[in-house]
Amino acid sequence: MLALRLARGTHPLVLTQRLLVAAAAAGVGFLLLCTLGYAVGHPTHSSASVLRLLWCVLPLAATVQFAVAVARTDPSTRPRPGLSAVGLGPARLTAIAAASTAIACTLGSTVALLFYLHLRGDITGLPFDGAAAELLAADQPMPVAAALTLLAVLPVVAATAAGLALRPRTAAPAPEGAERPVPSGLPWGVALVAVGLAVETYAGRGGGGGVPMPGRFDGNPAGVLVGWVLTAAGLAMAGPGLTHLGGRLLQTLRPGATRLLAGRVLMDESRRIGRPLGVVSAVLSGTLAASALYDADTGPAVFGPLTGLGATLVLACTTATLVTAALESKQCRTHTTEALLRLGAPSTVLRTAALMRVGALLAVFLPLTWVVARLAALPLTG
């Protein structure tokens, strides 16, 4: 109840973000229900049903990442003076953030269930009654317990992830004059990317069994997909280190005050925005590789509608997570920005530093994304 009262009084931007989380949860819930409909309509194809269910893990993970990012930027769940006196300490605020995340995801899952029943023809009186009755096995009774279990997965996982991400931590004080530590995941990320590309190349040459996606995309070896997952994990792990490297590059060759400011901000925020940047780079590289497969295929029917919905959810959620992380970074820099303005720093310097940070990130991540996409597309196109 307290989470609902806080939701009513929050900023419109936060409410919009929560509605976006609910929309993403509705898309994931619809994908899960469509997978259930396929399993009900094809009881003899149990292995294909399990593989279709596994494909839903990618949009589910992207939605969970977005929900956690929104929970981190919610100002109503941040510790403030006086709240501990009324029983709202850090632990209670973390529980409220987890509850708010669960409410948003449950709302989306409910919308997905209603839309699914409407397309099956179980709910009438609206346009498109039973428009997908054959696809969703409307002639078979829907297992209610299985549907509710699938729809409960996302709210439970998202709420748990938000609680773990926002749990109170006791950090040891840093030595006087010491910098923030350099992210240590870059070597491991590069190694994972190399291993993933090697697995893709080997599997693409050697062939193997196909892994169907939720649609018609079912002609690629399973090893290629495993390699892409390893590549994506490597890019996400290397993201903070690459962002820190971009900040270092901005401060080379006798930098001025603006470049020094831009570089230091990038280095300080490398852990916060680096991982979402790595995930977006992985998704874009996979999208480019898939578009190469689409161009190389003989017909446009290689991708089904549910595959497109899943890809859209992954791309939209990862992009929204990156934007949310950027907003969180801006909020964390509020006191520093105000201090610089009080000291007489012109606002043009701050805008120029922001443009420099964007340019440095594009200079680091765009070539990397293109190279990884080209290398990942080679096994798919022969």
Per-residue pLDDT reduced to its tens digit, 123-136 = 665 565 555 666 66
Per-residue confidence (pLDDT) for residue 158, from 0 to 100? 95
Report, as ranges of residue numbers, the positions in the chain whose pLDDT lies below 50: 176-177, 208-212, 215-220, 298-302
The residues, ordered by sequence, that sit 6+ positions from 372 with a Cβ below 8 Å of its Cβ are: 193, 197, 231, 235, 281, 282, 285
**What sign results for the dihedral spanned by CA atoms 304, 306, 309, 313?**
negative
Q: What is the pTM of this model?
A: 0.85
The whole-angstrom separation of Cα 190 and Cα 223 is 19
- Answer left, alpha or beta for residue 366, where phi above 0 means left and psi between -120 and 50 means alpha: alpha
pLDDT at 219: 44
Q: Measured between alpha carbons, how far is 24 from 9 in angstroms, rounded to an integer?
A: 23
Tokens representing 211? 């892994």
End-to-end, the C-alpha distance of the chain in Å comes to 57
310: left (phi over 0), alpha (psi -120 to 50) or beta: alpha
Residue with tokens 């899943």: 310
pLDDT at 78: 66
CB 315 within 8 A of CB 283: yes
pLDDT at 298: 41
**pLDDT score for 84:** 59
HEC assignment per residue over 288-314: HHHHHHHHHCCCHHHCCHHHHHHHHHH
